[in-house]
């Protein structure tokens, strides 16, 4: 995937982006939360 043959590496590549997306989604959904 993405020209990277080793699943352990393309998984890391995807997880980097997914983790950043998780931060964005969490922040937006809790934008006004005081909790």
Partner 1 sequence: MNPTLLIVIVVYIAATLGLGYLAYRRTHSEKDYLIAGGNVHPYLMAMAYGSTFISTSAIVGFGGNAGMFGMSLLWLTVFNIFVGIFIAFVVFGKRTLIVGRNLGAQTFPEFLGLRFKSRFIKHFSATLVAVAMPLYAAAVMIGGARFLEQILHINYNWAVWIFALFVGAYVLTGGLKGVVYTDALQGTIMFFGMVTLLIMTYAKLGGIIPAHEALTALTAQVPAALAAKGHLGWTSMPAFLSEYWWIVVSTLVMGVGIGVLAQPQLVVRYLTVKSPRELNRAVVIGGVFILFMTGVAFVVGALTNVHFMQQSGQLALMAAIDPVTHAPNVDKIIPLYIDSAMPGWFTYIFTLTLLAAAMSTMSGQFHVIGTSISRDLYESLRKKDGKGNSLLINRIGLVVAMIVTVWLTFRLPAGIIAVATTTFMGTCAAAFLPAYTAALYWPRVTRIGAIASMVIGTFTTLFLLVFVYAKGSAGLGISMALFGKATLAGFPWTVIEPIAIALPLSAVVLVAVSLATEPAEAHIMKRLLVPIGTVASEE
Binding region for partner 1 (CB under 8 A): 2-6, 8-9, 12-13, 15-17, 19-24, 26-28, 30-35
User: What is the nearest approach in angstroms of partner 1 to the Cβ of residue 25?
Assistant: 9
User: What is the nearest approach in angstroms of partner 1 to the Cβ of residue 3?
Assistant: 3
Between CA 19 and CA 11 the distance in angstroms is: 12
User: What is the nearest approach in angstroms of partner 1 to the Cβ of residue 28?
Assistant: 6
Between CA 18 and CA 12 the distance in angstroms is: 10
Compute the C-alpha angle 27/22/28, nearest 5°: 20
């Amino acid at each position: 995937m993405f020209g990277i043959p080793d699943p352990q590496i393309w998984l890391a590549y995807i997880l980097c982006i997914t983790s950043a997306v998780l931060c964005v989604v969490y922040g937006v959904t809790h934008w006004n939360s005081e909790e």
